[in-house]
Amino acid sequence: MKKLLCILLTVVMFSALIACSQSTEKNTSINGTSVTDDTTTTQKSTQTTTVTTKEETTSVTEEENPFKEFYEITWLTQLNADYREGRWDEVELEELFNVDLQVWAEDGRIAEKMSMLVAAGDIADFTYAPGLPRDPYGMYEEKLTRSITLQQMKNWIPGYVEAMEKIPIGFTYNLVPGKTDEYVGFTYNSLPGCQYFYDATCINLDWLEAVGYDFDDSELVPVKMTVEGYEQYNDNIFFTEGNLSFDDMNEILRAFTEDDPDGNGIDDTYGMLYLPESAWTNMTQEGLFGFVHDLNYKYEDPVTGNIVPKYAYTPYKDYLKWVSDNLNKGYMVPQPKSGGWAAQYQEMSGTNKYGIYGANGGGYLSLNSDTYRVYPPQNILLSVDDSARFVIGPMFRGPEGILVDATYGIDPYGTGKSRVQMVGAQVDDGKLERLCAILQHTTYSSKENLQKYVYGIEGVHYKWAGEPYKSTMLNTAAADLPEEYRGRINVFVMFYAPSAIQQQIDNAKNYGYWAYMPFMHANGLFEKYALNPIKYTSEAYMGIELFREYEKDNTAANEQLNPIINDFKSRALKGEIADFNTEWTQYIDQLYANGLQDMIDKYYNNPDFKNYDPGLKFTIRE
């Protein structure tokens, strides 16, 4: 009896142990993953489960997977016509975020194809398509896309909000009409776009020295080419801040035309080419008089006190008179009236018979690029004289001792089909949250991730010339890439680029890769010469409703104003204006009587049209 009792007791205890073990295993496993598994994502929330036996109470921490619900997400962006399904970045993100990324193999720039998609109601969950037949407001108003609130952005993609807070005017871009915290999409944000000059003044240094204007060698910083095989041109291009006066410029224009600066004994040289005002001419032409080519820039006129566009700004008169005088003397040479200005500029500058050029601020580095190798000074070096020397920078001052230039973008942001990434109307909040999580990871979680998802994998798609993020990035040729790593990258990211200033300066100082903009930034010259207008016409500064009214009224006003503006400029360039002061007064009276006064009263002087504010545009470096 005693033996039987011992056997029964042993069976009961063994059964209890098995039951306890099974109970514990069941309650400490969530979705098939042990709570002790330390490989689960750090983005998981926690909850506490209590496991009880007769002997003890145990608290077990469970981790809930925020990505447990599976989503299929369609994706459309530009330049994706040759997209390869199952690429490395797609696979990586699918595994991380429990999604199936279905990238449409389309080029979002192709208007005909995008129109067909819209007509069929086919809108990708995430869409960037400059070729769409509607702008972002049109897409939203037709219920093809959905909005996203500022609070959702703060919750789901905080890096986007933090980046915009640096220049907060961005929060007024692309608002849903009538809202102050809801948007028709994600606004483009590219800090480098507003932290560089597109153009620069370029002078033939050999000619300059020949007519008696020398620079000390210590003032000249040599370029260092970034393309292999063109190192011989490192001693041909230099940067400096010229500090040459307006009188100096006029004398140089004369000497380049009359004093045989190339020494060939033939009267075949000229001061400079006059170019139609554009992003190529700001520093070399109109910037000398305190304004730029962009009509969105507005100025306070020194005579009337009104806020006006450049064509009604009194210094514009002085600018046209200066150009007219130099064209009449032959010191400036105009382009032929027929044909595109770019092709003519390439052909005429390639003769090496002009001393001063409005040059692209970085094109001289792209000596193997068919797009840029055809412009000065590189077209001269490559095709005419490989020993010629040039100096680039802010060289001259205007009659009032000033010089300004326009930044490529007035701020990092933009509106319209090319500056907004949109979300399809079919996307619910759950899928939007997941989509935002992907974009937060690829774009804002770290500079290493942004680098990877924009440029590719280090050691595969590129290598650093020196220290990472402080040296030049050397790209691997597409033909040398393994098959699985080919194709355009820069797909699964936001339209965001951080400041490149510090990296450029570090690259120049540490490795000698001096270029125009690193030179300007390192010497405090960018902010010194960047023009801040009084006002800048955009929906961000005017508000959507006022801006829409402005666009309609401006179109109507231009029908009356443009013939007057064009006639005055045409006669000035032809040398047909004898007394600029008298004719300017008559011209201004015509402008005011034919719509300009109404535009000034309703818009330009309107206090609801806020003054321009650069924010931290000049101080952000990384």
CATH code of the domain in which 199 resides: 3.40.190.10
Q: How high is the mean pLDDT of the chain? A: 89
Query: In this predicted model, what pLDDT tens digit does every residue of 195-204 receive, in sequence order?
Result: 999 999 999 9
Same domain, 333 and 463: no
Same domain, 107 and 255: no
pLDDT at 578 over 90: yes
Asked which of 494, 515, 541 is the last residue of a domain, the reply is 494
Q: Is residue 39 part of a domain?
A: no
- Phi-psi region at 91: left, alpha or beta (left = phi > 0; alpha = psi -120 to 50): alpha
Same domain, 156 and 227: no
Q: Return the axis-axis angle of helices 246-258 and 314-329, rounded to nearest 10°.
A: 20
pLDDT band per the 50, 70, 90 thresholds, residue 65: confident
pLDDT band per the 50, 70, 90 thresholds, residue 421: very high
State the Cα angle at 369 between 523 and 362, rounded to 5°: 15
DSSP 289: G
What's the average model confidence in pLDDT over 420-424?
97
If one compares 30 and 522, the residue with the highest pLDDT of the two is: 522
Torsion of CA 372, 347, 235, 507, to 10 degrees: -20
Asked which of 494, 513, 546 is the last residue of a domain, the reply is 494
Q: Is residue 351 part of a domain?
A: yes
Pairing assessment for the beta strands 126-127 and 420-424 based on DSSP bridges: antiparallel
Q: Is residue 610 part of a domain?
A: no
pLDDT band per the 50, 70, 90 thresholds, residue 288: very high
What's the average model confidence in pLDDT over 423-440?
98
Same domain, 290 and 338: yes
Residue 542: phi and psi, rounded to 5, are -105, -20
Give the span between the Cα atoms of 375 and 348, in whole angstroms.
10
pLDDT at 523 over 50: yes
CB 311 within 8 A of CB 337: no
Same domain, 221 and 311: yes
pLDDT at 558 over 50: yes
At residue 461, the pLDDT reads 92
Asked which of 494, 521, 551 is the last residue of a domain, the reply is 494
Give the span between the Cα atoms of 364 and 373, in whole angstroms.
7
What's the average model confidence in pLDDT over 352-376?
92
DSSP 185: S
Same domain, 388 and 444: no
Same domain, 152 and 102: yes
Q: Is residue 322 part of a domain?
A: yes
Give the span between the Cα atoms of 231 and 234, in whole angstroms.
6
At residue 62, the pLDDT reads 65
Q: Is 348 exposed, middle or buried (0-12, 13-18, 19+ CB in 10 A)?
A: middle
pLDDT at 32 over 60: no
**Radius of gyration of the chain from Cα atoms?**
32
pLDDT band per the 50, 70, 90 thresholds, residue 489: confident
Listed range (44-53, 132-141, 364-373) with the worst mean pLDDT: 44-53
Query: In this predicted model, what pLDDT tens digit does every residue of 585-612 receive, in sequence order?
Result: 999 999 999 999 999 999 999 999 999 9
Q: Is residue 32 part of a domain?
A: no
Same domain, 319 and 464: no
Helix (H, G, I), strand (E, B) or coil at 352: coil
* Verdict on whether the full-model pTM lies above 0.75: yes
The parent domain of residue 226 ranges over 194-409+533-604
Q: Which residues touch 190 (CB under 8 Å, ≥6 apart)?
A: 409, 412, 495, 496, 497
Q: Which residues touch 486 (CB under 8 Å, ≥6 apart)?
A: 84, 478
Domain CATH for 108: 3.40.190
pLDDT at 140 over 60: yes
Query: In this predicted model, what pLDDT tens digit does every residue of 142-191 receive, in sequence order?
Result: 999 999 999 999 999 999 999 999 999 999 999 999 999 999 999 999 99
Q: Taken in order 12, 17, 20, 22, is the CA torsion positive or negative? A: negative
Domains held by the chain: number: 2
Same domain, 220 and 253: yes
Same domain, 171 and 285: no
Give the span between the Cα atoms of 312 and 317, in whole angstroms.
8
Same domain, 249 and 324: yes
Same domain, 473 and 395: no
Listed range (35-44, 261-270, 481-490) with the worst mean pLDDT: 35-44
